[in-house]
Structures are given as structure tokens and as C-alpha cells.
């Protein structure tokens, strides 16, 4: 089966990808400094969503052009809707046979030099010399015949700002079950109560709980001009993958690329109103979705939610380290379930330990934004779709105090001097 037939048989693009245009790019591209066509080197092609993977044969003398080939193809394919190009290279040991031997009159084995002088000793093919300290993989996992295409990942400073969203704040934990979603909705409502224009995006693709906590589970957004219209919850613009699945029982069984593609679609293809802050409820861990956000969404800062226990602190530490590496400022840490007061006798007990938030704050020189209690009312009100800030329970003041500390860290909006009103 040819690569073109293979492409047609496995092509499963998103609706933004132009299949015919992709084929034209691959068929018409000529390798640099030669007359060789790319289509004659391709052995395999696969498309999933907006990601294109190709496998092609190359030769030693073309090694210096590999990065150029990748960059030129990526630029051309981006116009066809392909947002990511993964190029797998199989390096052949000898150069391609020339159609014209040059008429020297000698018979040569493949790879030998055509010359009347004695041939110089051939050096064996050796793997390229690399800096081992820069490799993330172990040496035994490296394949010298398949050199990777090195391309710098997008940096936060290069990500363009959303035209209608001033600030994006990530609420993350690194670990599930620490009250991150409850914290997200209450902080969003607290910022809204302070007079800011606030939206909420549920990035927890596999376990969306924002619809339940904001009382609009089962509702689906309208579509206008091929874009989602966010739902309204207590005066905030809200959107979650849970609003699109239709019910509570449908699992989102997607692999990484599809999940991250869905998240980017929720962010980019939604008619967000003018917002001062968009709060994003992050999934647990430090995987595909976190990296996609860091590379493709402009983020003002991240808030880390943890409990005092050591297991939660270990995962929260990983989250902080990730944000530091991708140049996203950590605005502070919130210690959730800090203490429990018995509703019958009033006895106070630190069920999950003490001092966890203080440790993170001291270790990474970030503010401890506040402590929240382990209170049944917080859970009951969230389950009922009326979070603490709306219900006015005992935790509402704590959420308001934390929101005030976050608000003072937001950069002041720059005035657009080109506008006349």
C-alpha cells in the first residue's frame, strides 16, 4: 500500500484540516539542495485530529537539512489546519543511487567513490556525537538511525493573548481529591463578588464536576457561528466538557491528543465575553493537558491547592516544579481541609496533619494564600449547586480573603490608546 493510500485509509482529521491540501503539500515538496521529491521518501503517514505523523527515508548527506525540512513542512501544513508535525526519520546507510554514473567506465559497489585514484578508506557509519547531559532519555533508548527532530517548544512569552480575556488563572493540585474544583468555583464567585468579570473553564476532561457545583448540570451550550456560547452561572460565563456529554454517566474515554484538542477547542472556539479573569479548573497530574496549556494558552498565574498531608504535598511539589519550568508564575498555595471542628462537641482536630501549606510556602518562596476547613457544609453546598460564597456558610469569608490576595497580584489592564471611547 502506498503512503497516499495509507493516508486516505487512516485519515481522521478534525474539521479544521483540509485533507486535499495536506496531500498536495506532501506530494509537491522537493527536498532542499536536490531534485528529490519528498513523496518518494515517505513510507508511512498518519493523521489524528490536527496532528500529522510521517515516516520517511533519508541519507547521511541530508542530515543537516532535516530541521529545515521539518520547519518548512510544518509551516506549509499549518495553513492546511495541521497544528503539530511529528517527523520520524529512518536514515539509510548509503546515499541514493545516481541515475547517471558519470561515464567513468568502472563498475562500483553501492556507496563507493567513482574515481581513477585509489579509493580512500571508508569510515564506518557512526552514530552522531551528542551531549549526553541534554538528553532526557537513557542512552540505551536512543536510536542512532532515527535522529529526533529538535524544535524548541513554544514558550509562555510567545503565546498571543486572547482578545477578550485579560487574565487566565489555573487552579491546580497535582493530585486528585484535595478539593480543587470546589476551590475553583468559590474563588471565581468571590472574584465576581469583588466586581470583576469572571469566567470558568473546566479543563478536567475526564472528571468534570464544575456543572454540578454551579447548578447547571445537564444543560448544553448553544452554537453560534460555529462557536460555543458559554452557559451562565451566577453571572459568570461557564463551559465544561460535562456540558457537552449530555449526562453524568457518559465516560470521556479519549487518548491524550484528543483530550488536549477538546480543551483547546473549548478555549478558542467559545464566544467568551470580555473577561477580567478566566479561572481554569485543572485535572490532577502533570501530563498532556498541563503541557498543552503551558504552550498554547496565555496564563497569568497558577494557584496550588493541597492538603497538609505528606502524600498531597509531594504531588503539589511536582505541580509547582512544572509551572516553574514552563515559566508560569505560582501565585500562591491554598491549604484545604486544614482542620476539622466537630459539629457536636466543637473539638478541633487536624485530621490530615499540620503545616503542609507553610512548608510549600517556605520552600518555594510563594505566598500561603489561606487555609480552609474540612467542613461538611462546604461539600453539601457544592453538591447542591450553591457553593459556599453563594450559600454564605462559614467558609465564605475565607474564600473572599483568598480571592482578595489573588486579585492584588493581577496585572493592571493596559489602556488601549487607539480607542476613542
SS3 365: coil
**124 is written with which cell numbers?**
564506518
Pairing, β 236-240 against β 231-233 = antiparallel
Residue 49 binned pLDDT confidence (cut-offs 50, 70, 90)? confident
Residues with Cβ within 8 Å of 348's Cβ and at least 6 positions away in sequence, in order, are 339, 340, 341, 342
Displacement of CA 140 from its chain's centroid (Å): 29
Q: Residue 371 CA to chain centroid, in angstroms?
A: 29
Most distant CA pair in the chain: distance in Å? 104
Write down the pLDDT at residue 150: 53
Instruction: Look at residue 184 in the predicted model and tell me its pLDDT.
Output: 95
Please give the Cα distance from 187 to 302 (Å, whole number). Answer: 13
The answer to whether residues 300 and 408 touch, using CB atoms and an 8 Å cutoff, is: no
333 has a pLDDT exceeding 60 = yes
Give the integer Cα–Cα distance in Å for 242 and 204: 9
Strand order in the sheet with 275-281: 231-233, 236-240, 198-202, 275-281, 165-172, 301-306, 330-335, 368-371
- The answer, yes or no, to whether residue 368 has pLDDT greater than 90, is yes
Q: Are 29 and 76 in contact (CB under 8 A)?
A: yes
Which pLDDT band holds residue 200 (cuts at 50, 70, 90)?
very high
pLDDT > 90 in the chain, percent: 26
Structure-block grid coordinates of residue 280 = 481554569
Question: What domains are defined for the chain?
Answer: 1-95 (3.30.300), 156-407 (3.40.50.300)
Strands 51-58 and 42-49: antiparallel
What is the arithmetic mean of pLDDT over 129-141?
44
Question: Residues at the annotated binding site?
Answer: 174-181
Grid cell of 354 as nine digits: 499540620
Q: Helices in 208-275 by DSSP H: which ranges?
A: 210-213, 242-245, 256-268
407 near 233, Cβ under 8 Å? no
The whole-chain average pLDDT of the chain stands at 78
Mean pLDDT (whole number) for 308-333? 85
More confident residue, 46 or 377: 377
DSSP 86: E
Q: Supply the pTM of this predicted model.
A: 0.62
402 vs 8, residue with greater confidence: 402
Q: What are the DSSP calls for 141-178, one per residue?
A: G--TTS-----PPPPGGGSPPPTTEEEEEEEE-SSSSS
Structure confidence by residue, pLDDT tens digits, 92-106: 766 554 444 344 444
- 79-130 pLDDT, tens digit each: 888 888 888 778 776 655 444 434 444 433 333 333 334 444 444 444 444 4
Residues belonging to the binding site for ATP are 174-181
In tens, the pLDDT along 245-293 reads: 766 656 665 676 777 788 888 898 899 999 999 999 988 876 778 888 8
Amino acid at each position: 500500500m502506498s503512503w497516499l493510500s495509507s493516508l486516505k485509509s487512516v485519515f481522521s482529521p478534525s474539521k479544521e484540516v483540509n485533507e486535499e491540501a495536506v496531500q498536495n503539500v506532501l506530494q509537491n515538496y522537493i527536498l532542499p539542495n536536490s531534485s528529490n521529491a519528498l513523496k518518494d521518501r515517505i513510507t508511512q503517514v498518519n493523521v489524528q485530529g490536527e496532528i500529522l505523523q510521517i515516516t520517511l527515508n533519508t541519507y547521511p548527506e541530508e542530515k543537516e537539512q532535516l530541521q529545515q525540512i521539518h520547519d518548512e513542512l510544518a509551516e506549509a501544513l499549518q495553513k492546511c489546519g495541521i497544528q503539530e508535525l511529528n517527523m520520524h526519520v529512518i536514515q539509510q546507510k548509503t546515499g541514493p543511487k545516481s541515475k547517471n554514473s558519470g561515464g567513468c567506465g568502472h563498475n562500483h559497489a553501492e556507496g563507493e567513490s567513482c574515481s581513477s585514484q585509489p579509493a580512500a578508506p571508508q569510515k564506518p557509519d557512526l552514530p552522531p556525537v551528542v551531549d549526553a547531559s541534554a538528553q532526557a532519555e537513557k542512552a540505551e533508548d536512543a536510536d542512532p538511525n532515527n535522529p529526533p527532530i529538535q524544535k524548541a517548544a513554544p514558550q509562555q512569552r510567545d503565546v498571543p493573548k486572547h482578545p477578550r480575556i485579560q487574565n487566565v488563572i489555573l487552579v491546580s493540585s497535582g493530585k486528585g481529591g484535595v478539593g480543587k474544583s470546589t476551590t475553583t468555583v468559590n474563588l471565581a464567585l468571590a472574584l465576581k463578588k469583588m466586581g470583576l468579570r469572571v469566567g470558568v473553564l473546566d479543563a478536567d476532561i475526564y472528571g468534570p464536576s464544575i456543572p454540578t457545583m454551579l447548578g447547571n448540570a445537564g444543560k448544553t451550550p448553544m452554537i453560534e457561528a460555529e462557536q460555543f456560547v458559554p452557559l451562565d452561572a451566577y453571572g459568570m460565563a461557564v463551559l465544561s466538557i460535562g456540558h457537552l456529554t449530555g449526562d453524568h454517566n457518559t465516560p470521556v474515554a479519549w487518548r491524550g491528543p484528543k483530550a488536549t484538542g477538546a480543551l483547546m477547542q473549548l478555549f478558542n472556539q467559545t464566544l467568551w465575553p470580555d473577561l477580567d479573569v478566566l479561572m481554569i479548573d485543572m485535572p490532577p497530574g502533570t501530563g498532556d493537558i498541563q503541557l498543552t496549556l503551558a504552550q498554547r494558552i496565555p496564563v497569568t498565574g497558577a494557584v496550588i491547592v493541597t492538603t497538609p498531608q505528606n502524600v498531597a504535598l509531594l504531588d503539589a511539589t511536582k505541580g509547582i516544579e512544572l509551572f516553574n519550568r514552563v515559566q508560569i508564575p505560582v501565585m500562591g498555595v491554598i491549604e484545604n481541609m486544614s482542620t476539622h471542628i466537630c459539629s457536636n462537641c466543637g473539638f478541633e482536630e487536624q485530621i490530615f496533619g499540620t503545616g503542609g501549606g507553610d512548608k510549600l510556602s517556605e520552600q518555594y518562596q510563594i505566598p500561603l494564600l489561606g487555609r480552609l476547613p474540612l467542613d461538611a457544609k462546604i461539600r453539601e453546598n457544592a453538591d447542591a449547586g450553591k457553593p459556599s460564597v453563594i450559600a454564605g456558610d462559614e467558609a465564605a469569608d475565607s474564600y473572599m480573603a483568598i480571592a482578595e490576595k489573588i486579585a492584588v497580584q493581577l496585572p493592571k489592564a493596559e489602556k488601549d490608546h487607539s480607542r476613542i471611547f
